Amino acid sequence: MDANILVIAGDGVGPEVTAQGLKALKVLAKRERMRLALDEAPMGGAAYDLTGSPLPDATLAKARAATAILFGAVGGPKWEKLPFAVRPEAGLLKLRRALELYANLRPAKVFDAVADASTLKREVVAGTDIMVVRELTGGLYFGEPRGIRDEGGRRIGVNTMVYDDLEIERIVRMGFKIAAGRRKRLLSVEKANALEVSQLWREVATGLAGEYPDVALTHMYVDNAAMQLVRAPRQIDTLVTENLFGDILSDEAAMLTGSIGLLPSASLGERHALYEPIHGSAPDIAGRDLANPLATILSVGMMFRYTFGKPAVDERVHRAVTGVLERYRTADIMSAGKTQVGCAEMGDLLAAALEAQP
Ligand code: NAD
Ligand code: IPM
Ligand code: MN
């Protein structure tokens, strides 16, 4: 076998969108004459219901053994009241940490055909092509101390945004490398005017700039970055930032593209890789064949680029998406004169477009 792919469908729309990602993966692998071993494993609420754990040991073991993981989403109202440690989201966070998937690449590229689907004006968003490089295994999500405690009759909730210099260095280096392969501009986003952890971030980033003379490094506070993203998104090429800032800014960037259902991601470490749409389990539309599967299909494209070293295949996926969007739309990006299709039909259209490519 050339690669061993683990599919973790998860909850809500997760199984609906990963099924479409798999259709594309199978077509592409066949065309590339790659033999794939495919396996599945439960995570999130689905795994909790089966085993009492959102990340069963067997799933983690399969994940460690996989060449790459294709993931849908986890979470939903059914599990919201569970203790924190066994919530579906805890399974995903534990997996990211266990596999040391420290770099989360979230490309927000506007497909011209759907520039009108954005809630922002076409002239603002057209041509936008941003790569958000989000740190994924540190910061507020994982910092200690954390928790809720009782103290003198008051309840106190604590989380800690903490990074050491090496954690900052490896993600900023990733930012420089990604920027070097793009338009050679790296924007480091933090809050160095208010947070010491951000001051250290800026110092470390600045200290690395000399090693990447081809890339222009600039800095911006996160509040301004959130504003600039919607004011003039084309000014941004590659944006590197800490975990929570990246979570928020990438959902914001998704709306530049028309829908969160269009934003793929790659979570990379030194030894493992996981590919997932940035959206969640979308409980409001789950089970109704309404979800946009393109974020997941584009994540499969990223798998070819980053795990299989075949960027041309990723580009083929982009061309297929561009072609299909000329006529067909899921509900989230529907506009007049187009044909509305469901999740599964969009998956079929993409697979057919990939199959028909010369
Ligand atoms: P969400 O991303 O699931 O949904 C936000 C909105 O976007 C909803 O209106 C939803 O219908 C829409 N949407 C999302 N994906 C879509 C798609 N593919 N096509 C069309 N519309 C889409 O965020 P939320 O509602 O805040 O969270 C729901 C659950 O998902 C929560 O339990 C949350 O913790 C979880 N979540 C998981 C992940 C993940 O697994 N990586 C990411 C985000 C949220
Ligand atoms: C995402 C999600 C997760 C995150 C949640 C589910 C913990 O929002 O993948 O963007 O915050 O990283
Ligand atoms: Mn998120």
Give percent of the chain with pLDDT exceeding 90: 99
Q: Which residues have C-beta within 8 Å of that of residue 12, sequence separation ≥ 6? A: 73, 75, 76, 280, 281, 282, 283, 286
Ligand nearest to the CA of 140: 2
Check: CB of residue 295 under 8 Å from CB of residue 17: yes
Q: Please determine, for residue 287, whether its predicted confidence score (pLDDT) is greater than 90.
A: yes
Ligand 2 lined by 108 (C-beta under 6 Å): no
Task: Name the residue at shortest CA distance from atom 37 of ligand 1.
Answer: 280
Q: Which residue in 69, 57, 129, 58 sits closest to 101, CA to CA?
A: 69
Residue of 79, 92, 278 with the most ligand 2 atoms within 8 Å of its CB, for mutation: 92
Instruction: Kindly report whether the global pTM for this prediction surpasses the value 0.85.
Output: yes
Question: What spacing in Å lies between the alpha carbon of 251 and ligand 3's midpoint?
Answer: 6
Write out the catalytic residue numbers.
141, 191, 223, 247, 251
Pick the CATH number of 129-256 from 3.40.50.450, 3.40.190.10, 3.40.50.300, 3.40.718.10: 3.40.718.10
Burial of 22: CB neighbours in 10 Å, binned 0-12, 13-18, 19+: buried
pLDDT in tens, 206-257: 999 999 999 999 999 999 999 999 999 999 999 999 999 999 999 999 999 9
Question: What spacing in Å lies between the alpha carbon of 287 and ligand 1's midpoint?
Answer: 13
- Specify the pLDDT at position 1: 81
Task: Name the residue at shortest CA distance from atom 22 of ligand 1.
Answer: 261
Helices 243-256 and 222-231 pack at an angle, to 10 degrees, of 10
Domain with CATH 3.40.718.10 in the chain: 1-110+260-358, 129-256
Considering the domain delimited by 1-110+260-358, tell me its CATH architecture: 3-Layer(aba) Sandwich (3.40)
Confidence of residue 90 (pLDDT cuts 50, 70, 90): very high
| Ligand 1 cavity residues, CB under 6 Å | 13, 17, 73-76, 89, 92, 259-261, 276, 279-285, 291-292, 295, 332
